[in-house]
Each structure stands twice: as C-alpha cells, then as structure tokens.
Amino acid sequence: MNSVKSIVVLTGAGISAESGIKTFRADDGLWENHRVEDVATPEAFERDPWLVQKFYNERRRPLLSSSSLDQKSLEQEIRPNPAHKALAKLEAEFDGDFLLVTQNIDNLHEQGGSQNILHMHGEVLKMRCKSTENVFDCFNDIQVADLCDCCGEANNLRPHIVWFGEMPLYMDEIALAISNCDLFVSIGTSGNVYPAAGFVQMANQAGAQTIEINLEESLVASNFDQAVYGKAGEVLPIWVDDFLLSQPKK
C-alpha cells in the first residue's frame, strides 16, 4: 500500500463479538433478548426507566475490573480480543495521524490499549444528568431512585448512551478527521445504522482508500475499494501486520 499519512478506523459490534458481546443484529433480530424499541430509545426510558436501567446495568457489569466483581460476574467477565489489540498496535506503531471511531458502548478498545478514540454512540461506563447534561463515570448499577451528584434529584440519571432518534456524539470532529484521512477502515459493522454507515462515502469524497473488514458483506460493501471477510480477531491482526510492513517505520 502507498505511504499513508492519516487513518480513520470505524468499528461496530462485530469487533466485540469474539469477546462474547452479542452483536446488535444477531440471528433473532433482538439485542440481548430485547426489542430495540424497548431498551434503546428515549421513549422507552420515559415509559419504563426500570427496564432500561436494568438492561444497561447488565451490559455494564461484565466490563468492570475484576476487583469490583462478584463471583458470578467474574465468570462472565469480558476481555478484549486480538482485534482490539491489533488496533492498539496499529495506533502505537503507525507514523501518522490515527483516530478510532467506535459505535460500541463497551470499553474493550480502551482495555486493549487504544488511546485516541471517540465513542460516537456513548459509553456504558458513564452516566449523565438529564437536567445539567453533566457526564460522570459509572462503575455500579444505576437505580431509578439514585440521587444525582450534581442536582440531588432522583430519577435524573440516565446511561450516557446515544439512543435511536438521538444525535450521535463528536460528529464535527469525526467529519473533519474523515475529510483529512487517506485511509478509512471499517470493521465489524453492518451498515444499517446511520450516520456511521455513510462515513465510507465521506471518505471516498475525500479521496481516501477504503477497506471493509467484516464477517460478511455489509449493506454498504459496494462503496469500499477493498474488503477482507472473516472473523475480526483472526483477519485483523494479519492485516495490521501487513499494513505496518508496507509503511515507513516510526
């Protein structure tokens, strides 16, 4: 590959699949046995905050460090897989600009060693005050009756998650990075969820090379210059090593 100066990587649920986190559109079309409309919309939170808090509490627990886990949660602990680690290696060894944009709400990229990362759909290890929009770390379950640290009100804390119908985070920063990149790599995302599914077209307009790495063709596969199909944990480490060999040393 020609010498590259700036990389943007987009990841989706598929990169965390081999760590044991179910993708969004697994065979049954449900997310962890729930309809998306029941757990991932602002309307669902208005209607049934107990169910929504419980759903994200259950997503949060296996990501917490071993010291804070009880025995049952420890058995379910989720760890980064070779694909997360390969992206951390790419960032550490690539001699140029690097931005990782993830749609994932887990912290497996951070656990795997990635540094420059934007969670465009929020983070399950954070919570937000509905009144002030202040964002806090969250390493415990959130209960509906919990009092908010900043406003002291009950029923005012929500998971710091971008739900369907809400505006993704960091869009200006992401658009700027894509417009300046010369390589765009999309990993483990189905191309169902916009605006992320449109990033490849933005990269094409910027003249970047575009590569899809996924288990199967995504809905936007035809927009990419190249594709590598397989499990991210198997194919991504090989792709990263080949790419780094093709580039000048740091």
Cβ-count burial 29-67 (b if 16+ within 10 Å, e if not): eebeeeeeebbbbeebbeeebeebbbbbbebbbbbbeee
User: Mask: binding to ligand NAD, 113-142, rule CB under 6 A, as x and -?
Assistant: --------x---------------------
With a CB cutoff of 8 Å and minimum separation 6, the contacts of 105 are: 59, 119, 121, 122, 123, 124, 161
192 binds ligand NAD (CB under 6 A): yes
Instruction: Select from 6, 7, 16, 212 the one that contacts ligand NAD (CB under 6 A).
Output: 16
For residues 156 and 148, is the Cβ–Cβ distance under 8 A? yes
Measured from the CB of residue 219, what is the shortest distance to ligand NAD in angstroms?
A: 8
Nearest approach, Cβ of 65 to ligand NAD (angstroms)?
18
Of 84, 109, 119, 121, the active-site residue reads 121
Decide: is 189 part of the binding site for ligand NAD (CB under 6 A).
Answer: yes
80 binds ligand NAD (CB under 6 A): no
Give the angle 99-164-145 at the CA atoms, nearest 5°: 105
CA distance 183 to 149: 42
Distance CA 37, CA 30 (A): 10
What's at 136, amino acid-wise? F
Q: Which stretch binds ligand NAD (CB under 6 A): 8-16, 140-148, 202-210, 220-228?
A: 8-16
**Residue 11 main-chain phi, psi, to 5 deg:** -120, 155
Q: Do strands 157-161 and 122-129 pair parallel, antiparallel, or not at all (unpaired)?
A: antiparallel
- Please confirm, yes or no, whether 34 is among the known catalytic residues: no
**Residue 44 touching ligand NAD (CB under 6 A):** no
* Dihedral, 212, 216, 218, 224 alpha carbons, nearest 10: 30
Q: Is 190 in the site for ligand NAD (CB under 6 A)?
A: yes
User: For ligand NAD, which is the closer residue by CB, 149 or 195?
Assistant: 195
Helix (H, G, I), strand (E, B) or coil at 26: coil
Q: Which of 5, 23, 146, 247 binds ligand NAD (CB under 6 A)?
A: 23
Q: Does 17 bind ligand NAD (CB under 6 A)?
A: yes
131 or 226, CB closer to ligand NAD?
A: 226
Q: Which of 6, 7, 8, 14 binds ligand NAD (CB under 6 A)?
A: 14
**Site for ligand NAD, rule CB under 6 A:** 12-14, 16-18, 21, 23-25, 31, 103-106, 121, 188-190, 192-193, 214-216, 218, 231-232
Active site residues: 121
